[in-house]
Amino acid sequence: MSDEDCVLDRLITLAEKPSENVPSLRATLARLHSRVASHDTSIRAKLVEKFCRPSSGYLALLLSLLDGVKDHPSLCSVVGILHECCAPKSAGSDKGGKKSSSNARVVATEQLVQLGGTHAILKLVIHVVKDSSSNQQQSSTPAWPHQFTHDLLWLLAHLAQRDGKFALKCRTMGALKTLHILLKNYVSSSKLLYPLLMMMKYLARNGITSKLLIKDGVAQTLEVTLTSLGLTPHPRLRLCIEVMNHLAKNPIFCGKLARTQVIHILLRLIERCDHQEGKLQIRIISSVLSTLYKMCAYKAGRVVFRSHNGLQIMHSFCTSCPDEKNRDALVGRASEVISVCLENRAPLLAENTMSPAKFPLPVPLTQIYCQDDRSGSSSRDTTPNSDEDKIGEEDCLLAEDIIDESCIEDNNVLPQILLRDLDDLKSYSNFFEEQVGSPRSSRGSSLLDSDDEEDTSSASKSTKSSMLSEYRALNPTETLKHLRILSKIRSGTDPFKVYFSIASKVISVIPFVKVAYPDMVGAESVNVPEPLYTKDRRVCRSKLMQCIEKGLRPEQGMSRVVYDVDSLVNSARRNSYSSERMLSNWDESRLGKENSDVNHLMFESRFESGNLRRATQVGALEYDLILMPDVNSSKHHQWFYFEVSNMKADLPYTFNIVNCEKQNSQFNYGMKPLLFSVFDAINDQIGWVRAGSDICYYRNTYLNQTAGGKVKPYLTTSFTITFPHSRDVCYMAYHYPYPYSRMIMQLWNWAHTIQPSIVFKVQQLCYSLNDNEVPLLTITNPDSVSSPIQDREIVILTARVHPGESNASWVMEGTLQYLLSNEEQADRLRENFVFKVIPMLNPEGVINGCHRCGLTDEDLNRRWSRPDPTLHPVIFNAKGLIEYCCRVLQRIPYFYCDLHGHSRRKNVFFYGCSHAGSWNAADRTVPEDPTEFLLLPHILQQTAPAFALNHCNFRVERARESTARVALWRQLGITRSYTLESSYCGCDQGPYQGYHLGTAHLHEMGRNLCEALGTLFDDGWKLKLVLACSSPQSFANEQPHRVVGGIAGLGGVRTAEEDLTNPSDESDYEEEYHAVNEGH
């Protein structure tokens, strides 16, 4: 037995009764501390490894001594040992040694967090501060040695970095004031200020904690700290500004800082930066710019900023910043500050920013629910940092931190669940005629009245017989007889005439004037790989600088409005425009014809799913475009689809969409806009192509007047298009359009082309708010003795709740094409399942070219908990349909999937639901088999080229409780409840890496989804998943993802973005730790 083992064994013995062996315990701990802190790296590393070994229990023993020992020297030794275990070590001679040391530190820190170390150290800090305060009043001698204070505060900083609930623990223990007092006391300490600022940083990232700190006067403390630090770059200066940056999300804090000299000091830092090299200097300037941007979002900050000549300082910084890639983000942030501080800027629209598409609601929203219930209507079913107003990368965890901790503080109260009366649900029985007389459905008889049960029993044989005879293959007339929009169209009608008839019966808010040519011909993407665009950073910086110059020095340049929907709509209203006429398309007759009276491009967007509000010519070949907001709204600008004509070939036309709202876009990461040429479609059968160059996405100087009290400029999507033909008619779009009429047309096509052996039934689920029909599809095989239709599992698919996510419809189309095909596996699917499909949940939004909402300015994917039958008829009836299946038939759907599109990530991926990953504590106590919801994503990872398992997420967040995925999982018990997200852009992994996703890829994804669903009964896949999750290391070698905690403790598949710190942050922290403690 080695000497260290003997000492450790003695420690275990003495720790059993620490109060009885104080001298021996003190000597033993001191000896261990001296060895852990030894300059001999081999001795130190060997002992630290023993302490940090999870099975040893030594860290738990040391934590227990913090509570059981009152002897000051012993406590100093315990804290010193813990600090040495968690502190970054000096880099060894070899790279592997440094990495091993870093990993050991992380493991030790995470162990302490799991063992309750944060709570124990916070308790000790509070005790030490109280003890020091009382001792200071009685004696000038410090109660605790300086080295102990150093080790204690650094240890707590290490834990704060790894403890996701650090802010909550500080709040509940009353440690906020204590840490604030320590910050005040050690403002001038070169070694203790850094760990205190580190803790403040993690406290400031939490919304609730930041409010308490602001109330406690932290603004004044930070001003004193910043002043004392001076202007010399140092890690302490960086941390101080980062704390301010996080707190500046609070308007009260911004107001307090505006009354200090902080803005003046920050501007001096910008002036004196001299564009020095080094990561530290860049991070400092980045934090300074982010803080200034947030402070200047309010009037008080802007006034002080201008008074200190801020605009000129920022402009000088931008113009003199070196043309290097790592400086581009700084120029972008500086331009954002300039944008919010400009005076006398021209508004984007002189008139009302509300959409010209106005729809009178049958019931005021205030009568349905209180305003607070609508607060989440604009959020997405995505990762927590989906579209937050983030200026710097360091802000990405803020939303998640706030949600997690506020949920715990609110005692895990679930939102109110509204389930319908069983008698009311019986109205959906006609959508489940195949289930009548089913042995399974008889289990629901207890839910019915006794009279109903008797009636059902007496008529069971005849009803079952009639229903089974109906569930056979239907002819086209029988298939489509329930849809009014197709009722008068005869079989054999020319397809173009069919489409014109359908489009003419669609009811829109703004009258349409034509059918778009790509929709008429059913245009899809070209069948060649289309690589992602490589961004030219110099072009983007040049455009950004031009925008800044234009804002600072507005000039009288060209500004001619060439297209304006507002005036066209008003003119149509005055002229009593008739919406009864048959719509058509005459683009082919326009080819090659030049309008001699017009010397500019011509635009049009008054067709289905079209979106362009205004086009202004600002240069000979440059146009500023303004998008339409959603109906009855002044926001949600992203989707665009419009016609362009009267162009000349081989000239670079620049288009600037100037009222974008999202803080970032895939246009910055390789996505190109879409272009369709009528000339090419006629002559070469070419469909939609990815086109454009000089593609940039940046903040402009136009003020977003819908941002509330904050000044929030819009962003610009800029790209250049060189049209291949003169006098062509072209269409441009954000993504491949998929209008409502195409969906109806596809139903018509399928009804006339599928094999007679397939049951394909189209019913009218309901009417939308503006009286458009919502189809419900049933797909299965005819009833048979070998596979009774009543015994088949039910699968429910929905799509397009967000109208701008047209990629969801393309995946749905691929799914339906496969289910209606003659392939053997598709036949097996129909033999095992009854598919209930709602291909378009938000037809009104799709028809009217909306991006996010329908006619009520609400996100319908936040209405599944309590949908209103008047304002949300489609969601109300879709949920009622599923609720009937679950509660009346007592047939829990085997699988539910809601198809979506994603604007921030690449690839295709799932969001699912796991009890272990829920925000609600009660959920986490529910036992579950993770293979139930993990198996399908695992299969898709192996079989679908576009699918990315490492992007999947199975957490249940409180902000997502009213989404379809979570509401149906929680309220109706659907275990396999998913959202399938498809990128607007393309892929960054797998066979399609570096390429856009076209309609063929999206169709393929729908096919892959069906194929994976058909293999869920295969025990081989399940066994492979169980083996993979039980051996995470071997599985990680096979696939590029990591299963957190194995299969037993799975809360979801996490990506590197969700880790508290990434490797680069870890490296920076180690460097700064040594720089601070070595006095550099």
Taking a C-beta distance cutoff of 8 angstroms, is the pair 36, 47 a contact? yes
Known catalytic residues?
981
| Integer angstrom CA distances of residue 487 from 482, 491, 493, 748 | 8, 11, 13, 11
Buried b (16+ CB within 10 A) or exposed e, 56-72: eebbeebbbbbeebebe
Closest CA to 956 of 943, 975, 938: 975
Q: Which residues of 25-37 are buried (b: 16+ CB within 10 A; e: fewer)?
A: bbbbbebbbebbb
Burial class (CB within 10 angstroms; exposed 0-12, middle 13-18, buried 19+) of 576: exposed
Place of tokens 């501060």: 129
Q: β-strand 729-733 against 641-645: which pairing, if any? A: antiparallel
One-letter amino acid of 596: S
Q: How far apart are CA 291 and CA 645, in angstroms?
A: 45
E-strand ranges in 514-581 read 560-564
Give whole-number Cα distances, 69 to 22, 78, 374, in Å. Answer: 8, 10, 54
Measured CA to CA, the distance from residue 109 to residue 124 in angstroms comes to 17
Strand order in the sheet with 689-690: 602-604, 641-645, 729-733, 674-677, 689-690
Helical segments of 296-429, H only: 299-307, 310-320, 325-341, 365-368, 398-409, 422-425
Tokens at residue 334, please? 């500086």
Q: Are 889 and 435 in contact (CB under 8 A)?
A: yes
Q: Are 914 and 955 in contact (CB under 8 A)?
A: yes
CA atoms within 13 A on the CB side of 629: 21
Distant-in-sequence, close-in-space partners of 219: CB < 8 Å, separation ≥ 6: 247, 253, 256, 257, 260
CA distance 545 to 527: 38
- What ranges in 553-638 are assigned the alpha helix state H? 565-574, 587-590
Report d(CA 734, CA 673) in Å as an integer. 6
Q: How many CB atoms lie within 10 A of CB 1050?
A: 20
d(CA 662, CA 903): 9
Q: Are strands 622-626 and 614-619 parallel, antiparallel or unpaired?
A: antiparallel
